Amino acid sequence: MTRLRHIGFLLFDDLTQLDFTGPLQVLNRIPGATVHLVARQQGPVRTDCGPFILADTDFANCPQLDLICVPGGWGIDQAMEDDATLDFLRRQAAGAQYVTSVCTGAFILGAAGLLDGVKATTHWRYHSALPRFGAIPVQARVVRDGSVFTGGGVTAGIDFALTIVREVFGEGLAQAIQLGLEYDPHPPVDCGSPTKASPAILDAVDSQFAPRWDAFLRVVDRLTG
């Protein structure tokens, strides 16, 4: 018996593939749970690295979800202004046990009005924009505020999902899933946070985000004034 019978991922074009597939690998191993890949229309959804994901249900036919997860990616700019996406998210959030995001997916939650007064995190490069949606920024890999869970950038989705499993089902299942996935990171370099990066590396990565950041802020300005 599970208290998370229906788990759904909100998909949109140009999502970050690992934002979605990281937590999917964890949450799909919950006994008795059904995972729904939800988009405006059934069929292929483009990721930011080439492959397509097949959405298996659309907004109209999605059952009430116990947990909804919103990944991030370059496509958030369009999703944040899509009324059908935001309406679906609001409807599902009203009946869900857990409303969650990974990386910049937090801003889709924000655009739907679901982060007002809520402690949250997101990718480090976008963290400063959280207050624009009424969120209270917290520098952490996973942040919980009531029924809302937010994960930091990309790989934090795995930690977020294991946090959910431990919350609902206890330490044993979380450990079993972690071991099954052999999630025991020992990266060959140690620069996974801006606090660990040299000024040169930080500047190089920041410059990669700069064009996308400007486009993102134009959307935020339209949404928040």
Q: What are the catalytic residues?
A: 103
Q: Report d(CA 132, CA 107) in Å as an integer.
A: 10
Q: What region, left, alpha or beta, does residue 162 occupy, with left being phi > 0 and alpha being psi -120 to 50 degrees? A: alpha
